Amino acid sequence: MTPRLSVSDLAKAYDGLQVLDGLDLEVGKGEFVSLLGPSGAGKSTLFRLLTGGRPDRGTIRLDGAPIAEQTAPFAFMPQRDALMDWRTIIGNASLGLEIAGVPRHEARARVAPLFAEFGLSGFQHHYPAQLSGGMRQRAALLRTIVMDRPMLLLDEPFGALDALTRAGMQRWLAAMWQRHRWTALLITHDVREAILLSDRIYLLSPRPARVVAEIHVPLPRPRSQADLATPEALRIEARLLDTLLDPSQGQIP
Amino acid sequence: MVNPMLERLWRIAPALSAITILLLLWESYVALSGIAPTTLPAPSRIWAQGVLNWPSLAQNTWPTVQATVLGFMLSLCVAFVLSVVIDFSPALRRALLPVLVISQTLPLIAIAPLVILWFGFGLAPKILLVAFVTFFPMLVAWLKGYEATEPDLEWLLGTMGAGRAAIFRQARLPSALPYFFAGLRISTTYAVVAAIFAEYAGAARGLGIYILSAKNNFRPDLVLAAVGVSAVLTLCLFGLAILAERIAMPWARFREPRR
Ligand SMILES: Nc1ncnc2c1ncn2[C@@H]1O[C@H](COP(=O)(O)OP(=O)(O)O)[C@@H](O)[C@H]1O
Ligand SMILES: [Mg+2]
């Protein structure tokens, strides 16, 4: 079966700084894949290339066809929530539909029924500044989901949250994924987050980013934070940490 | 809940007290020193003479208000249009921005008589001069504001399929609003003074003319009464700017209060 996303030999340099150098990865349909790597490795750069940036080398295919021939393949959630201060939550959530040409009231009518599932009931007409960090992230995720694209790109969605809120959000996202089975590529530098959410994890080297290990997470779903304490999960966590701290160990020959 | 009216009053109380104390000091200095009112009139005298001469003062206030308001509206349009042009075209930015900066180094004292020479003693040259003095802070504020747009937001809009114009309208323009309103406040404080200065350089009527003739008649009390009127005009304009800001940015109320 052709994978949904297939990236091969991707390379990119910024003013002589080699950020990506021969990156290969695949994401299957309905699969949740995480990219785990040190900060500054070039993870966001990969998303840049997926969303229209020009690589120096390499190919990106979606369902087997080169990305340039695809229309609107990705729903993207940037590193900070990038909510518009000047739009209400429902206005933010329906932004993607409005940009796609859906009339404003129709876009809002389509988004409104989803507020309950995203824990945002009653906050439709609040401004982002009135919401807590966790709610803002859920609003940003709602904005991403409603675009109804073949694949989600999530760039450290919970990176800016405090530990407790982050754990709550991870659990919530795990439950949401269980129901919707989005095809998703998640960037994170949180090892446990990657284990909790992913079917598969790619470990990246420091810049220039290359895949140093690919790890399957065979833990049964639905998962919760408690499952992270099982021997299987602890073994994966130890392996991920070892490789992150000493990339030579995980080097694929 | 505290009464919002009371709270607002409480917030401007320090400013009101400071002004009152200044006026009292001034009043008592004039009374105690016996200084001639033709040199330094007391506030009470300025007020009394201002009221007494109100008809002619009011008659000269109206042209100034006209020049200020029309000049300022022109200035708002010019600043916005220039900012959009400059934001969309790097070539025009490089061409225009230095010229505009140089324009602001020209001494008004030389410009004003020339503009009057070219456009006559009517309203037009005053409008142009007010616009000339006030457009620049707003233009700079717009440009600074566009640049303050969060790069991730533009990236996001791009992935949604937004083009350059949509990104401008959806992200750059609203991101620049707080900057624009800061520039607007600065500009309002120049507007009335610019109109008066333009009248000073040549006009049939106006506060500038009133001040000029009061000075020539050795009436500092009437000069200061006219200055008082111009201060009130500026405060009104400033208040309007704040009101416009509140209306245009309803979300700003919810930002973290910074103290
Ligand atoms: N547009 C750019 N111009 C120059 N350097 C860039 C640009 N984007 C990213 N970089 C550099 O590339 C490196 C990787 O960045 P990024 O992909 O954002 O890392 P991360 O893995 O933390 O997301 C960083 O050193 C960054 O400074
Ligand atoms: Mg990043």
Question: Angle at which helices A133-145 and A163-180 pack, to 10 degrees?
Answer: 20
Average pLDDT over residues B105-131: 92
DSSP structural state of residue A198: -
Cα(A20)–Cα(A43) distance, integer angstroms = 9
Torsion angle, CA of B220/B225/B228/B229, rounded to 10 degrees? -140
Helix (H) or strand (E) holding B144, with range, is: helix B123-147
Cα(A73)–Cα(B165) distance, integer angstroms = 22
CATH architecture of the domain with residue range B43-251: Orthogonal Bundle (1.10)
SS3 B89: coil
Q: CA Rg, chain B, in Å?
A: 22
For residue range A8-28, what is the model confidence (pLDDT) as tens digits?
A: 999 999 998 999 999 999 999
Cα(A150)–Cα(A127) distance, integer angstroms = 29
Quick check: A90 and A112 in contact, CB under 8 A? yes
The answer to whether the CB atoms of B155 and A51 lie below 8 A apart is yes
Quick check: B234 and B188 in contact, CB under 8 A? yes
pLDDT of B53 over the 90 cut: yes
Q: Which residues contact A62 (CB under 8 A, 6 or more apart)?
A: A4, A5, A6, A70, A73, A150, A151
Cα(B145)–Cα(B165) distance, integer angstroms = 16
CB contacts < 8 A (A, B): 56
Average pLDDT, rounded, for chain B? 93
For residue range B5-31, what is the model confidence (pLDDT) as tens digits?
A: 888 888 889 999 999 999 999 999 999
Question: Angle at which helices B123-147 and B108-119 pack, to 10 degrees?
Answer: 130
For residue range B231-254, what is the model confidence (pLDDT) as tens digits?
A: 999 999 999 999 999 999 999 988
pLDDT of B258 over the 50 cut: no
Q: Pick from B152, B161, B255: which is nearest to A99 by CB?
A: B161
pLDDT of B165 over the 90 cut: yes
Cα(B257)–Cα(B84) distance, integer angstroms = 31
In sign, the C-alpha dihedral spanning B151, B155, B160, B166 is positive
The protein residue with its alpha carbon nearest to ligand 1, atom 3, reads A14
Cα(B182)–Cα(B237) distance, integer angstroms = 14
Percent of chain B scoring above 70 in pLDDT: 98
Residue B72: exposure state from Cβ atoms within 10 A (0-12, 13-18, ≥19): buried
pLDDT of B81 over the 60 cut: yes
pLDDT at B259: 39
Quick check: A140 and A84 in contact, CB under 8 A? no
Q: What Cα–Cα distance (Å) separates residue A167 from each residue in A76, A90, A158, B186?
A: 22, 25, 9, 47
pLDDT at B191: 95
pLDDT at B199: 93
pLDDT at A225: 85
Cβ < 6 A, ligand 1 pocket? A 14, 17, 19, 37, 39-45, 207
Give how far B170 is from chain A: nearest CA, Å: 9
Q: CA Rg, chain A, in Å?
A: 18
Mutate to test the pocket of ligand 1, among A12, A15, A17, A203 (most ligand atoms within 8 A of CB): A17
Cα(B175)–Cα(B47) distance, integer angstroms = 45
The model's confidence at residue B76, banded by pLDDT at 50, 70 and 90, is: very high
pLDDT at B4: 77
CB within 8 Å of chain A, chain B residues 192-251: 249-251
pLDDT at A222: 87
Number of other residues whose CB lies within 10 A of the CB of residue A39: 11
Query: How many Å separate Cα A152 from the centre of its chain?
Result: 6
pLDDT at B2: 62
Percent of chain B scoring above 90 in pLDDT: 86
Per-residue tokens: B155:
């990236």
pLDDT at B127: 95
- Maximum distance among all Cα pairs of chain A, rounded to whole angstroms: 56
Query: How many Å separate Cα A37 from the centre of its chain?
Result: 13
List of domains in chain A: 1-73+152-253 (3.40.50.300), 75-148 (no CATH)
List, for chain A, all residue ranges whose pLDDT scores fall below the cut of 70: 247-253
Q: What are phi and psi of B120, to 5 degrees?
A: 85, -175
Q: Which residues contact A250 (CB under 8 A, 6 or more apart)?
A: A203, A212, A213, A239, A242, A243
Cα A40 to averaged position of ligand 2 atoms, centre (Å): 7
- How much is the ipTM here? 0.91
Number of other residues whose CB lies within 10 A of the CB of residue A183: 19
Return the half-sphere exposure (C-beta side, CA atoms, 13 A cut-off) of residue A176: 18
Helical ranges in B41-122 per DSSP H? 43-52, 54-88, 90-103, 108-119
pLDDT at A253: 39
Quick check: A90 and A128 in contact, CB under 8 A? no
Cα(A2)–Cα(B203) distance, integer angstroms = 81
SS3 A175: helix
pLDDT at A2: 87
Q: Pick from B152, B171, B256: which is nearest to A78 by CB?
A: B152
CB within 8 Å of chain B, chain A residues 104-133: 127, 129-130
Average pLDDT over residues B190-219: 93
